[in-house]
Structure 1
Amino acid sequence: MNRLAFALPMLLLAACATTPRISLYEQFGGQAGVEALVEELLVRILEDERINAGFVETDLVNLNDRLVEQICVELGGPCTYTGRSMAESHAGLGITEADFNALVEDLQDAMDARGIPFRAQNQLLRRLAPMHRDIVSP
């Protein structure tokens, strides 16, 4: 067997084994990336006529801070979420499936605008999906 034919695959395997894996948090740009994403998301929410009326009475500074914490935690970043549970935060708000879907669309558009890789977007959405039951009114 040709030594080169044997050595090349071994070199490629060794290179793959030593390539550092980029965390999901890093794929989103770390803390600065999460903060920029949340800012982009909030702008989109406030411009979205389907759901912006639901945010008129909202403390946007607090919402921004809690979203940054929450997304950071979901991405595996070095953060702690200090807000209320999703059930407590959304109780009595009458959020519909359409409202929820509109916000998810705004989040996807914000991630696209920030250049976040599609696979990383899906990983975040998969981590956030279980919150649906605590957000949407029955």
Structure 2
Amino acid sequence: MSEASLYERLGGETKIKAFVADILKNHQNNPVISPRYSQAKKSDEELIRLVTALICQGTGGPQTYDGMSMLAAHTGMNVAEAEFVAVLDDILAALRKHGVGEREQAEMLAIAYGMKAEIVHQ
């Protein structure tokens, strides 16, 4: 019997969308990165849609992410290491708030950390 995908263990699209909304709220309230979100070119709803699709597709769900690559989205932003760490902290806080298991938290952080080279550019 095969193990459930991370997507299934996270609870599918509805639960992923719920914690993504909280990740965005955390970012908007985090003084380290909130200025970036006050200048966002996309609405909150569009950011939530895109990040939800990215996570769903990246964790084994049937959804298709149709946004920019992480490299393209972050080129020219000069994202600092401290900002990246703040993002990881915000993700972890949202996952914990939604009762995501420790194993799944670790997997999500590993996925996010795996994108670091595409995001952090100083």
TM-score strictly above 0.5: yes
Per the alignment, residue 103 of structure 2 pairs with 119
1:87 and 2:71 correspond: yes
User: Sequence identity, in percent?
Assistant: 30
Equivalent in the alignment of 1:99: 83
CA distance in 1, matches of 2:16, 2:27: 16
Kindly state the Cα deviation for residue 73 of structure 1 after the two structures are TM-superposed. Answer: 1.2
Bigger-Rg structure (1/2): 1
Amino acid at match of 1:28: L
Shift in Å, 1:35: 0.5
After the TM superposition, which parts of structure 1 deviate over 6 Å for at least 4 consecutive aligned residues? none
Q: Give the equivalent residue in structure 2 for 1:22.
A: 4
The residue identity in structure 1 corresponding to 2:13 is Q
Q: Helix, strand or coil for the counterpart of 1:92?
A: coil
CA distance in 2, matches of 1:38, 1:88: 21
List runs of 5+ in structure 2 lacking aligned partners. Answer: none
Q: Which moved more, 1:117-126 or 1:32-41?
A: 117-126
| TM-score, reference length from structure 1 | 0.81
* TM-score calculated relative to the size of structure 2: 0.91
The answer for unaligned runs of 5 or more in structure 1 is 1-16
Root-mean-square deviation (CA), in Å? 1.4
Offset at 1:126?
A: 1.8
